[in-house]
């Protein structure tokens, strides 16, 4: 999930209780259908690129580290909602060590949590600068042997142009990794799509705010768009 789906930058906290509760309820509705690991972004709070530009900093690594902390803040808030409001057992796992906040991501430990029915929330991206949480999504999906990789957004798939800015934008239901990269589409970071291509990994993009969509995506219904190897 991108950070934007959890937040509202016009609010004092940059969080949207309505959006978070909606997504949490969607997860609650599929908890018996699948093992679930969630990579969270931090865009509702801070982006490393915005910090670098706003403060005119040359060292982008510092800014990216701050962005990783923003994803951890989102993970902790979402954990609180899942557990306290919906009774869902969760574990926050971070890409870099933050022992007071969550467990360090260790592949086999994460897989064990999933086997026990816990929702694993993955924070801190890949733990490396210059890589987005989209790249973390593909990397963690590969590491955890996921059957399905979903990108939950505010739009119902991939479009040839931004549908919010151009009403004539056309939806693309299926697109190859190579075509996606050549057309310079932006809903998923290009580095993440390049990694998915190398791993022969499919990604489904869908509107997480359409009630029942998460269940439909897991059940294999034809919703949203797919970035595929063929």
* CATH number assigned to the domain comprising residue 94: 3.40.1160.10
Residues whose CB is less than 8 angstroms from the CB of residue 148 and which lie 6 or more positions away in sequence, other chains included: 34, 204, 217, 218
CA distance 174 to 225: 6
- Per-residue pLDDT of 120-174, as tens digits, reads 999 999 999 999 999 999 999 999 999 999 999 999 999 999 888 888 999 999 9
**Overall average pLDDT of the 85-94 stretch:** 98
Question: Is 143 within the bounds of a domain?
Answer: no
Flag whether 61 is in a domain.
yes
Same domain, 41 and 128: yes
Give the pLDDT confidence score for residue 94 in this predicted structure: 98
Count CB-CB contacts under 10 A for residue 81: 20
Say yes or no to pLDDT of 8 above 80: no
Would the CA dihedral through 129, 134, 138, 143 be positive or negative?
Answer: positive
Same domain, residue pair 128 and 187:
no
Q: How many domains, the chain? A: 2
139 in a domain, yes or no? no
pLDDT band at 13 (very low <50, low <70, confident <90, very high): confident
Specify the pLDDT at position 17: 93
CA gap 159, 175 in Å, rounded: 10
CA 207 – CA 10 distance, rounded (Å):
22
Q: Are residues 26 and 124 in the same domain?
A: yes
* Residue 129 confidence (pLDDT): 93
Residues 195, 111 share a domain:
no
Parallel, antiparallel, or unpaired for β 90-94 and 119-123?
Answer: parallel
Range of the domain at 21: 1-132
Q: Are residues 44 and 119 in the same domain?
A: yes
Whether residue 30 has pLDDT greater than 90? yes
Q: State the Cα–Cα distance between residues 189 and 197, nearest whole angstrom.
A: 13
Q: Is residue 48 part of a domain?
A: yes
Question: Do residue 120 and residue 154 come from a single domain?
Answer: no
Rounded Cα–Cα distance for residues 36 and 60 (Å): 32
- 15 and 78: one domain? yes
pTM score over 0.85: yes
Does residue 117 come out as left (phi exceeding 0), alpha (psi in the -120 to 50 range) or beta?
left
Residues 68 and 179 in one domain: no
* The two three-digit tokens of residue 158, written as one number: 């991939």
pLDDT (0 to 100) of residue 82: 98
Question: What is the rounded average pLDDT for all residues in the chain?
Answer: 94
Residue that is last in its domain, among 132, 167, 186: 132
Same domain, 121 and 210: no
Angle of helix 17-29 relative to helix 60-86, nearest 10 degrees, comes to: 60
* Beta-carbon contacts of residue 186 (< 8 Å; ≥ 6 apart): none
Residue 42 vs residues 4, 38, 68, 86, 147: alpha-carbon distances, Å = 7, 13, 7, 23, 25
Phi, psi of 90 (to 5 degrees): -135, 165
């Amino acid at each position: 999930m991108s950070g934007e789906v959890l937040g509202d930058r016009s609010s004092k906290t940059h969080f949207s209780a309505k959006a978070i509760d909606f997504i949490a309820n969607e997860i609650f509705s599929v908890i018996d259908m699948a093992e679930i690991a969630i990579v969270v972004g931090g865009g509702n709070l801070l982006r490393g690129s915005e910090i670098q530009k706003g403060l005119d900093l040359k060292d982008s690594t510092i800014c990216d580290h701050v962005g990783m902390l923003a994803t951890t803040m989102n993970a902790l808030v979402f954990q609180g909602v899942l557990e306290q409001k919906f009774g869902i057992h969760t574990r926050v796992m971070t890409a870099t060590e933050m022992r007071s906040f969550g467990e360090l991501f260790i592949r086999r430990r994460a897989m064990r949590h999933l086997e026990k029915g816990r929702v694993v929330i993955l924070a801190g991206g890949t733990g490396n600068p210059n890589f987005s949480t989209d790249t973390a999504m593909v990397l963690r999906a590969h590491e955890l042997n996921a059957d399905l990789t979903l990108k939950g957004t505010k739009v119902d798939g991939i479009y040839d142009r931004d549908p919010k800015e151009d009403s004539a934008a056309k939806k693309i239901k299926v697109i190859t990794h190579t075509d996606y990269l050549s057309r310079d589409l932006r809903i998923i970071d290009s580095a993440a799509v390049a990694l998915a291509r190398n791993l022969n990994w499919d990604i489904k993009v869908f509107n997480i705010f359409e009630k029942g969509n998460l269940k439909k995506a897991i059940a294999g219904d034809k919703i949203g768009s797919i970035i595929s190897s063929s």
